[in-house]
Amino acid sequence: MEINRKSPPSVGPTARTGESSSAKAPKAKALTVRDGFDTQGARPSNFVDRPTGRPTPPGASVPASAFTYGSSNVAVKPGATNKVDPSKEKPKLTGEPIIAVIDGGVDFKHTDLDDAMWTNPGEVAGDGIDNDANGIKDDVHGFNVGDGGGDPFKGDGTDHGTHVAGIIAAEDNGKGNTGIAAGKAKVLSVGGLYDGADLLTNFERSVDYLVKMKTEHGVNIRAANASFGNSYRDAASQERWTAAVQKLADADILLVAATANGNGSNMNNVPDMPANIDLPNVITVASMDRNNDKLARFSSHGDKVVDLAAVGEDVLSTVPGNQWEEMSGTSMATPTVAATAARMFAENPDLTAVQVRDLLIKTVEQDTDLKGKVITGGKLDINAAIDAAKATVEPKPQTPAVATR
């Protein structure tokens, strides 16, 4: 059952949020300004702002190039039908749940991520051929939406994208950190989000790639992490954002989105995209402080648009070049929720995106500091959410014992 984002539900308190195990690493040096992400102001020295990407030119329509990637139409015009035809046989989804990280590209050669990446079974790495006929050559670990190629680890924001991916699925190998969904899920990287076209157009292209891979190629994509966003006040852009997220909903893909880092700003009346899109497959995340006992000072909030909060301060995770660093921001809180969703899908693959969202919301731990700031008044409870997913598994019917002489 979907909870209306515009009216706070009544949610009871649960057990304290569980912590994932992680190997300790020395505290990283303070971050500098990299990839255009602001680290200045009254914020922690390791703060990275939620990327906003290239702005959409005023009055711009979708560029023609958005419809002609590779040898097929990877992107679909806004408003066009992209639903799965119920009369067609759907590809069988198998294997671990896959979380798409739409962001700067992920360093898929990182020693803490190389075994955590989705690998396209239909591609032959490096042969320059579109083996699976999806319009993209050599998309072995994902797609670069900025240049239309198959290498996601290009362009701006690779520190950000790699850090997000590590929070989700960094390997349990005694190095750096261990992702919340380590060994339970794979990461598909959609890189290049901050290159080439504007953020909105690149998001549309990203969505169409993911929907195509799931509905036509059977890739078990269950959620997409969106640790980015910006304000879009024109109705045409808002319609395009909503249409793109609706395509994810039609393909049963959860969108886990970061609210802004506005130093306590209220986002209730802000057309923040994609975080404030009111669709049942969207869950929007604010950041708790490092101790998980109050809203982080850099985080925005909104009791009509932000669903819950999760720890996003001083989070240790992977960065390119086989390194690990601590970063702070709603960008770090969001993959914590996406990884928990992955664990839930792993427990019960029959759960839908809407059902997982509903369970995440219903199992939050109430926090007095969040009352009136997020819809639920609560913060992510990892263990309670996973346990709730386990409880939905239908018991297998037992075979009656055969009597013997």
Sketch out the chain's domains with CATH numbers: 96-391 (3.40.50.200)
Write down the catalytic residue from 189, 206, 300, 331.
331
Low-confidence ranges of the chain (pLDDT < 50): 1-4, 6-41, 64-84
Radius of gyration of the chain (CA): 20
pTM here? 0.85
Q: In DSSP terms, which residues pair with 155 in a beta bridge?
A: none
328 is catalytic: no
Q: How far apart are CA 307 and CA 293, in angstroms?
A: 17
Beta-strand runs (E) in 237-314: 254-258, 272-273, 282-288, 308-311
Q: What local confidence, expressed as pLDDT, does residue 59 receive?
A: 66
Q: How far apart are CA 320 and CA 155, in angstroms?
A: 13
Of 239, 223, 237, the C-alpha closest to 335 is 223
Q: What local confidence, expressed as pLDDT, does residue 397 receive?
A: 74
Residue 365 is inside which H or E element, if any? Answer: strand 365-366
Report how far apart, in Å, the C-alpha atoms of 274 and of each of 52, 63, 224, 283, 396 are. Answer: 11, 20, 12, 10, 39
SS3 percent helix, strand, coil of the chain, rounded to 5, is 25, 15, 60
331 is catalytic: yes
The two tokens of residue 215 are 């509905």
Q: What local confidence, expressed as pLDDT, does residue 45 receive?
A: 79
Of 191, 125, 188, 187, the C-alpha closest to 154 is 191
Write down the catalytic residue from 160, 272, 301, 367.
160
Q: How far apart are CA 23 and CA 351, in angstroms?
A: 31
Write down the catalytic residue from 20, 22, 49, 103.
103
The two tokens of residue 389 are 């997913």
For β-strands 308-311 and 315-319, DSSP reports them as unpaired
Q: What local confidence, expressed as pLDDT, does residue 93 receive?
A: 86
Of 297, 304, 331, the C-alpha closest to 317 is 331
299 is catalytic: no
The count of residues in the chain is 405
